Structure formats: structure tokens, C-alpha cells
Amino acid sequence: MREEEMEKLRGVVRDCVSKHLYSSAIFFADKVAAFTADPADIYMQAQALFLGRHYRRAFHLLNASKIVLTDLRFRYLAAKCLEELKEWDQCLSMLGEAKVDDDGNVYDMKDSNVMYLDKDCEDREINISSAICFLRGKAFEALENRAQARLWYKAAIKADPLCYEVLLCAFMASAPSNLISQSFPNSIAEKLDDSNYLRWRQHVKLVIKSHKLQRFIVNPVVSPRNLTEDDHIVDHVNLEYEMWEVQDQTLLV
């Protein structure tokens, strides 16, 4: 098959993905990758499998390729598959050994040198190092190691402040301890009478406004729990809904 025909099929795969026709994308991507054995085509096939929620198949495809050891894109996508499968220890193992200090500096465990994570790509791209740090944070949070999770979120923001998901998860990781223990002290919950109502009201308003929580109390706008019907079937929760729920429950504590 000529290269021109291969490129047409690649275009079909991209078009299927853009139209959310993932079964079709998987079918044509498999044909292209089988014919060319090109790493870029294998990655495209794995992406199609991932988007079609075939996480185990995508992981095995990526893991079978030796490129996963040297190409960050392959390793990151393989780790994302393990994230969806909730195999958190394997997810961290796939991302490789590294540690992070209190300032968000990341060290390679092999040579103990600080890894250069400053943004080195154009502004239209998110630094993959930021995405990897973010995924490490999510894995540690799932393993209930919130201290490590916060450090990796800090490293992700340091690597690329445009990674918006990190800001949401960083807030969620710190909200229970900060908002509950510091912002909502016991003095808010007290018996009210004519002598203390105005002081209590002013205190509560300051706490609510300082954390931008008015929208949870007055005419709240709640993001949907699931964005699509497929998300509803597998209960894939919208991240903005999770953030709203954390803040909403904080107000009830």
C-alpha cells in the first residue's frame, strides 16, 4: 500500500476521533499500525483504544513496544490506562522513579539531579512533564498519601501553570484540612441572640467571600455530574462537579 493511501487512512482515523466514532477509529488505526509498524501509528492506535475505553488493550499495546521505555508519550499514555484501571502502584511504576522536594523540584532517582521541568514548548502546548507530575499526584492521592500528592501537584504547576486540572485537584487535596480547620472555626457554630448576631453575620460573610463560596449559597450553578451518556454509564465524574461537591460539603461541616 502506498504512503499516500496510508496518509488517507490516518486522516480517516483523525476524522473518526473528532466525530467520536471510536470503534471506527480503532478499526482503521489497527490496519495502519499493522501495515507500517511505525511508532507514530502504534501510538495513534493506542490513543484510539484509550478514547474507546479499551484501557487494557491500549496498555498491552503500548507496553509491548520497547519505545515505552524511551518515549514519554508512550509511557504517559500507558500510565493513563493504568489510572483508568485504578491500578495505582503500577501507574507510579510506569511513570518511573523520581522524588519531589517541598519546593516542587523533581529529582531523578538514578542520579539525584534536579530534572529540568520548566516549560520548553510553545504556549499552545502543555508540558508533558507537568502532565506526568499531575498524574503522580493523582496516584498518590488515590493511595491516600495526600502529602506526596500535594508536592507533586506543586511540581506540576511549576512545570506548566497552564495545566488547569492541576489547580482544581490541588485545591481539592488541600480543601478539607485548610477550609475546615482554619476557615470554619467552632465560633461560627454558636447560639445566636441579639447580642452576637451582627458579629457572627460579619464573620460568616467574610469566610464565605474570602473563599468565593457565594455561588454555593445564592442561586448555585452546579456542573453536571456526568458530561455524556457514556460517562453516566461508567460513572465517569466531571472534575468540575467533584470540585463543587467538595466545597459544598465543606459548608455543611
Query: What pLDDT, in 10s, does the model give residues 39-79?
Result: 999 999 999 999 999 999 999 999 998 888 888 899 999 99
Please give the grid coordinates belonging to residue 47: 490513543
Sign of CA dihedral 15, 17, 19, 24: positive
What is the C-alpha separation between 61 and 29, in angstroms, rounded? 12
Q: What was the pLDDT predicted at 85?
A: 95
Q: Which CATH class is domain 1-73?
A: mainly alpha
Instruction: Calculate the alpha carbon distances from 8 to 4, 5, 28, 32 in Å.
Output: 6, 5, 10, 10
| CA neighbours closer than 13 Å in the CB half-sphere of residue 245 | 10
**Nearest to 86, CA basis, from 20, 132, 141:** 141
DSSP bridge pairs for 100: 106
Domain 1-73 shares a fold with domain 97-174: yes
Could you say which of 1.10.287, 1.10.3470, 1.20.5, 1.25.40 is the CATH number of the domain covering 97-174?
Answer: 1.25.40
In this prediction, the residues of the chain whose per-residue pLDDT falls under 50 are: 111-122, 176-184, 186
Place of cell 455543611: 252
| Cell numbers linked to 5 | 493511501
User: Cα 138 from chain centroid?
Assistant: 7
d(CA 171, CA 106): 21
Distances from the Cα of 106 to the Cα of 114, 136, 168, 246, 248, angstroms = 6, 12, 21, 29, 34
**Distance separating alpha carbons of residues 236 and 55, to the nearest angstrom:** 14
Q: What residue ranges do the domains of the chain occupy?
A: 1-73, 97-174
pLDDT at 204: 72
Residue ranges of E strands in the chain = 98-100, 106-108
